[in-house]
Structure 1
Amino acid sequence: MEPREPNDLRQRRRAGTAIKAALRDLRVELALLNHQIGGKLALKDIDLDCLDVLAQNGPLTPSALARQVGLHPATLTGILDRLERGGWVARDRHSADRRSVSIRVLPDRNREVYRLYSGMNSAMDEVCAGYTAAELELITGFLQRSADAGRSSVGKLGQDS
């Protein structure tokens, strides 16, 4: 492999810096959107995170959900109590072992969440329409690898505690 030209290295560094800045901007905008939607639904940001993880991954045990959202199980218990009281989730006890519980989202209430995100989803459809299928695959791969990098960083920080 040939050494890169100094100009190429500078351009790559600038592009990498611009990508990180754009990701930070996106994180802030998504946090603001989530906070506004949470306010309309009387949900905290962490409540929305829990609902999103459950919606994406199907029913989970409380300990599995706690791991995925990065909370201590005792903290999650209070959140689940609040979500259950609000009609957002149900706790299902398994007939074979009544101590074993799964948490699932209740579809009627979660339609409210999807309705509030419809503007963002439509805007993202428009953004994606400007790219070819191959470009979208490249972007998807980049975002997935970025999410993996975030998970790895969270894991490393957790080990340092």
Structure 2
Amino acid sequence: MSSVSPSGTDGSRQRRRLTTGIKDSLRELGIQLSLLNHQVSAHLELRDVDFDCLDLINRHGPLSPTALARRTGLHAATMTGILDRLERGGWVTRERDPADRRAVRVRALRDRNAELIRLYAGMNGSMDEICAGYTPEQLELLADFLRRTAEAGQAAADELAAD
């Protein structure tokens, strides 16, 4: 005999439906952001993978080429080509690491940030409007959820890269 009441069963079904809806929405968000990033990279005349690496350098840099390759799951030789293109385009510079003069770190150049800001202006404006509809407490909950989801995505990618 089950100890779950009928209302408990309905609650479990509702929770599964809501969880599935969140996962579906996150997949759709991933697709839409990927398409937006593809459009931005095309306007900047960058390959998608180059743009992804530039974004990682902007967010987490300066980084060594090895750390960037590890983070992206790309081969070191592939990373060299990407960094060469980004450097030629005026997006990044390679510098000696002050802690270890033999090591190189890649740093994003800020000269072209205005282009990025302009291309993302529509999305950023929409996000501001959406966020304005939430209380600070709700925004804290959403930020926590998204941060934890991003961490789970990074862990899953790391696990696949290790295989």
Cα pair distance change 1:97/1:138, threshold 3 Å: closer
- Aligned counterpart in structure 2 of residue 142 of structure 1, from 142, 145, 152: 145
Q: Distance in 1 between matches of 2:151 and 2:106?
A: 25
Partner of 2:26: 23
Partner of 1:47: 50
Q: Distance in 2 between matches of 1:157 and 1:50?
A: 19
Is 2:119 the counterpart of 1:124?
no
Q: Distance in 2 between matches of 1:96 and 1:147?
A: 30
- Which amino acid is 2:87 matched to? E
Aligned-residue offset at 1:156? 2.2
* Structure 2: tracts of 5 or more residues without a match: none
Q: Distance in 2 between matches of 1:70 and 1:158?
A: 6
Moved more, 93-102 or 111-120: 93-102
Cα pair distance change 1:95/1:149, threshold 3 Å: closer
| TM-score under structure 2 length normalisation | 0.90
Partner of 2:105: 102
Q: Distance in 2 between matches of 1:96 and 1:56?
A: 21
- Aligned counterpart in structure 1 of residue 115 of structure 2, from 104, 108, 112: 112
Partner of 1:6: 9
Cα pair distance change 1:129/1:83, threshold 3 Å: same
Percent of matched pairs sharing the same residue: 55
Is 2:23 the counterpart of 1:38?
no
Partner of 2:81: 78
| TM-score under structure 1 length normalisation | 0.91
Partner of 2:72: 69
C-alpha RMSD of the superposition: 1.8
Are the equivalent residues in 1 in contact too, given 2:57–2:108 (CA < 8 A)?
Answer: yes
Aligned-residue offset at 1:77? 0.5
Cα pair distance change 1:71/1:6, threshold 3 Å: same
**How many residue pairs get matched?**
159
Aligned-residue offset at 1:58? 2.8
Aligned-residue offset at 1:95? 6.6
- Which amino acid is 2:157 matched to? V
Q: Distance in 2 between matches of 1:93 and 1:79?
A: 18
Q: Distance in 2 between matches of 1:95 and 1:131?
A: 44
